[in-house]
Structure 1
Amino acid sequence: MPAAEGMKPMTRRSSRILVLNGTSRLLMKAEGLGLDIVNLRSDSNLDEKTRLLCSAVHVVDFSRTGEVLELVRGMHRDQPFERVICHAESLQVLAAFITDEFDLPGNSFHTARLLSDKYALRSRLRSRGLSRAASAVIADGEQLAEFISVNGPTVVKPRNGSGSWGVHFLNSANEAGTVWDAVTAAGLKEMLAEVLLVGPEISVEAFSIDGRHYPLSVTTKEKNGFIELGHAVPAPLGHEDSQACYGLVQSLLDAVDLRWGASHTEIIFTSDGPEVVESHSRRGGGHINELVRLVYGIDMEELMFQLAAGDEVSLQAAPHAQGAAAIRFLTAPAGTVCEVRGVEEVSGQEGVSEVEAVSSGHPSHGLRWSGDYLGHVITRADTADAAMERATRLSRLIEFDVHAPADKESAEKDLVQQTMREALDMFDITSLSSA
């Protein structure tokens, strides 16, 4: 294990931690660490073994912030928590609020708010000389048209969104009215407008311990517009470009005072140099953590549990890669999946690390954001390009038969509301007065 080899189990008492959401796969990474885990989640989708790993599991409505906090405060009074762990983008601010309220080690409410509010982050970066990109909060179509007239091609997105949901590209001011109609139809009252950053896009995966930041990997992306179709690790960058990205990310994490845990920062190589798109106080989505684990032997999800358990964790920046890994996401047209073919065939192919696909009866929503993926293929090879080629080729062997919905318009309206709840940060500070 090239970078995590220094992890040494310490004699420890059982630490009580609060985990917000998380899959069975994630939670099982705490097995054997002696943690007393309380899991708050938005659904009951845990297998029996994972339920037994947790001392308590509570299904809650995270959008009712005051009620959730009252539940947590009661549990903390009875038996204090020692840390909060959360990888869900929409719950980062809530996790940080709890961390601050109970004076726990971790990232502060201020840090989480800076990272969740894309306009606040851009403003902080500009004030530190870490960004040159123009941005503005837009409240109507006229303001959007004016921004485009001044700055040229523009990206419009929610200030606190994730997964590429609600993102629009505009080439001219003439498109502002149509885009704003779509924004209004989604129930949003303001958006962030930013000048379009042009160039190859990568992300930097890092891990921080007590405010010291360790860049671990650079991820390359394959996209369809703003939606990611796949990732590969390590990105085929030269040493100078990699170091420029690492330095930019370390400065960014210092600027927002991120103290611990995984982080994921998206960067575009413009003609003027690397520019930050956005950054997050969590590990990257789309199974990037698994790609980093395969290539570097470092599991950032597991590291967070180990730190919570009191283990000593030793990391080094820019560890040596052992080959490459890639993921290709599976999608299908909107409707209901009736049959899935090719999974077993692909699973047996050379270089395949993992294949997952939804089963018959699962809804398909086409491809509007990252929450619409129906599965994935993860492969290994000597280089990132070869791994991505293999994942892309094999993913085409998996086929979905889909029946279209009978009432497409009604289904789409319901889906917009559901997707908003998943993509936008759920922390509602106005509800705290009732808690």
Structure 2
Amino acid sequence: MSPPGPVVVLVDAYTSGQYLPPEFAALGAELVHVQSTAELMPSMPAPDLSVYRENIVHEDLVKTVAQLAPYRPVCVMAGQEPGVLLADELAGELGLPANTASLSAARRDKYQMIETLRAAGLHCAGQFKSGDVAALADWAGRNGYPVVVKPLRSAAGDGVFVCATDGEVRAAAAAVLASDTIYGEGNAEALVQSYLHGPEYVVDMVSYEGRRYLCGVWQYHKRLLASGRNIYDREHLLHPDEEPVPQLAAYVEQALDALGVRYGPSHAEVIMTPDGPALVEVGCRIAGNMHPGFHDRCAGGNQAGLTALAWLRPGRFLRDHAGRRYGKRCEAVCCTTSTTLDGVVDHIGRDAVEQIAALETVHRFDLKLAPGDRIRPTVDLYSSTMRIFMCGADMAAIDRDYQRIGVLKDRVYRISESG
């Protein structure tokens, strides 16, 4: 019998966190999962707990550390955004390599994140936070429209509003303060920021001992709804040599240094303003639209696999990847479809599914809903209906298939009732 492999601890491995266990297992690791809440979060697809040696439901730090210590883990990392703070705490208590402890809150709270960058001399948005709607509206009025109103600790476009008037700011701030985040946390305060003008990009990296590999840079394409919600549409992969990739990568390196990110994956969203790059936010976890097979094909590697390599084979990662970047192997697009449907999914339109699957440039796609699920008009990433990975030698072919998907997308879900 072979000896047991090194143990890796993942905290809250929801959504794209599901891609981490196979990559760690492929390098001989065993896994333990820590669930930061008493119940699994209903807003996100649940992790497959069958792949873990144990699922520890966190109650308090001392108890969880005592449960993990016998495994002698080699690392603790967040599988998704809500696990970032707890993963930092656990790694510190277990004496494992970790991101700078004193900056942990700044890697999760968007106000502290931007203020940390400002203190480091990096270009970023003006901002103000408060639990008072009038104070938020007053700041916006004094600093000029448009502005962005959003929660301090959510993700995926949840509760993010672009506002052009005092009334819009007041309505958006009231909506944020009256709601919970997608992670079930109440919003005691809302954040208002100056609007950053320019195209938005994703910059994904993996770090070990502060040395990094650039996994990919993607340009976002979003659509601004009349409600002020700016919804995801698609993103396309840039060549590592084309502008503004070098500027974006250099800026994100500085931002990660300022935020004490020395280990693990990071997913940064950055606006290229007329005055240079400015961070929207960065998450210390793998990208939400990451899929190993797709990213291997189009970029020559994937963030989950590189994260596992960095933790389990650090010498190899530092030798072969640190200071280097991806290579664009083909044109690539990830699109997230929106809908105006409102009702309950009765059944899946198989003809539409088969037509999408047969499109030349569709690499794979994921249905986000099943019969019996509620479908609502799209306002953020979690209310989008499908995620479709597309690639090919010719962007014109991808664009052609993308237009066809726009025709077929609302034929995929057949609803039984509205309202």
* TM-score above 0.5, yes or no: yes
Q: How far does residue 71 in structure 1 lie from its aligned partner after superposition?
A: 4.5
Separation of aligned partners in 1, 2:20 and 2:7: 17
Corresponding position: 1:324 with 2:331: yes
Give the counterpart letter for 2:287 in structure 1.
G
Q: What is the DSSP-based 3-state SS (H/G/I as helix, E as strand, rest coil) of the residue aligned with 1:146?
A: helix
Give the structure, 1 or 2, with the largest relative contact order (CA under 8 Å, sep 6 or more). 1
Of 127, 140, 155, the residue aligned with 2:132 is 140
Instruction: Provide the residue aligned with 2:182 in structure 1.
Output: none
Instruction: Provide the residue aligned with 1:248 in structure 2.
Output: 251
Q: How far does residue 292 in structure 1 lie from its aligned partner after superposition?
A: 3.4
The superposition leaves residues 130-155 of structure 1 with CA deviations (integer Å, 9 ceiling, x where unpaired) of: 12521111221221222112211211
Give the counterpart letter for 2:328 in structure 1.
A
Q: How far does residue 328 in structure 1 lie from its aligned partner after superposition?
A: 1.6
Q: How far does residue 249 in structure 1 lie from its aligned partner after superposition?
A: 0.7
Corresponding position: 1:394 with 2:402: no
Q: How far does residue 392 in structure 1 lie from its aligned partner after superposition?
A: 4.7
Corresponding position: 1:83 with 2:75: yes
Deviates more, 1:245-254 or 1:211-220: 211-220
Task: Summarize the Cα distance change of 1:111–1:283 in structure 2 as closer, same or farther, 3 Å threshold.
Answer: farther
Corresponding position: 1:15 with 2:6: yes
On the 8 A contact 1:234/1:384 being kept in 2, the answer is no
Q: What is the DSSP-based 3-state SS (H/G/I as helix, E as strand, rest coil) of the residue aligned with 1:239?
A: coil
| Within-5 A mapping of 1:24-39 | 24-39=18-33
Instruction: Provide the residue aligned with 2:183 in structure 1.
Output: none
Of 138, 162, 171, the residue aligned with 1:169 is 162
Of 199, 221, 232, the residue aligned with 1:228 is 232
Of 49, 52, 55, the residue aligned with 2:53 is 55
Task: Summarize the Cα distance change of 1:246–1:122 in structure 2 as closer, same or farther, 3 Å threshold.
Answer: same
Instruction: Provide the residue aligned with 1:309 in structure 2.
Output: 312
Q: How far does residue 85 in structure 1 lie from its aligned partner after superposition?
A: 2.7
Instruction: Provide the residue aligned with 2:290 in structure 1.
Output: 287
Give the counterpart letter for 1:321 in structure 2.
K
Task: Summarize the Cα distance change of 1:202–1:25 in structure 2 as closer, same or farther, 3 Å threshold.
Answer: closer
Give the counterpart letter for 1:38 in structure 2.
V
Instruction: Provide the residue aligned with 2:362 in structure 1.
Output: 352
Q: How far does residue 248 in structure 1 lie from its aligned partner after superposition?
A: 0.5
Deviates more, 1:171-180 or 1:241-250: 171-180
| Within-5 A mapping of 1:154-303 | 154-186=147-179, 188-225=187-224, 226-234=230-238, 239-287=242-290, 291-303=294-306
Give the counterpart letter for 1:335 in structure 2.
G
Q: TM-score, normalised by structure 2?
A: 0.83
Q: How far does residue 198 in structure 1 lie from its aligned partner after superposition?
A: 1.2
Separation of aligned partners in 2, 1:150 and 1:386: 47
Q: What is the DSSP-based 3-state SS (H/G/I as helix, E as strand, rest coil) of the residue aligned with 2:309?
A: helix
Q: How far does residue 13 in structure 1 lie from its aligned partner after superposition?
A: 6.8
Q: How far does residue 113 in structure 1 lie from its aligned partner after superposition?
A: 1.6
Count of matched residue pairs: 386
Separation of aligned partners in 2, 1:200 and 1:165: 20
Q: What is the DSSP-based 3-state SS (H/G/I as helix, E as strand, rest coil) of the residue aligned with 1:305?
A: helix
Instruction: Provide the residue aligned with 1:420 in structure 2.
Output: none
On the 8 A contact 1:328/1:388 being kept in 2, the answer is no
Separation of aligned partners in 1, 2:291 and 2:18: 17
On the 8 A contact 1:207/1:214 being kept in 2, the answer is yes
Instruction: Provide the residue aligned with 1:367 in structure 2.
Output: 378
On the 8 A contact 2:236/2:334 being kept in 1, the answer is yes
Give the counterpart letter for 1:212 in structure 2.
R
Instruction: Provide the residue aligned with 1:150 in structure 2.
Output: 142
Deviates more, 1:28-37 or 1:148-157: 28-37
Separation of aligned partners in 2, 1:194 and 1:371: 23
On the 8 A contact 2:150/2:176 being kept in 1, the answer is no
Quote the RMSD (CA, aligned, Å): 2.7
Give the counterpart letter for 1:148 in structure 2.
A
**What are the ranges of 5 or more consecutive residues in structure 2 without an aligned counterpart?**
180-185, 225-229
Q: What is the DSSP-based 3-state SS (H/G/I as helix, E as strand, rest coil) of the residue aligned with 1:31?
A: helix
On the 8 A contact 1:283/1:289 being kept in 2, the answer is no
Separation of aligned partners in 2, 1:17 and 1:287: 20
Corresponding position: 1:380 with 2:391: yes
On the 8 A contact 1:227/1:368 being kept in 2, the answer is yes
Separation of aligned partners in 1, 2:278 and 2:23: 34
Separation of aligned partners in 2, 1:274 and 1:157: 20
Task: Summarize the Cα distance change of 1:241–1:78 in structure 2 as closer, same or farther, 3 Å threshold.
Answer: closer
Separation of aligned partners in 1, 2:406 and 2:92: 44
Deviates more, 1:72-81 or 1:320-329: 72-81
Instruction: Provide the residue aligned with 2:353 in structure 1.
Output: 343
Deviates more, 1:150-159 or 1:12-21: 12-21
Paired-residue identity, %: 23
Task: Summarize the Cα distance change of 1:290–1:270 in structure 2 as closer, same or farther, 3 Å threshold.
Answer: farther
**What are the ranges of 5 or more consecutive residues in structure 1 without an aligned counterpart?**
1-10, 409-435
Instruction: Provide the residue aligned with 1:69 in structure 2.
Output: 61
Give the counterpart letter for 1:93 in structure 2.
L
Q: What is the DSSP-based 3-state SS (H/G/I as helix, E as strand, rest coil) of the residue aligned with 1:192?
A: strand
Q: How far does residue 202 in structure 1 lie from its aligned partner after superposition?
A: 0.8
Separation of aligned partners in 1, 2:303 and 2:79: 10
Separation of aligned partners in 1, 2:157 and 2:88: 23
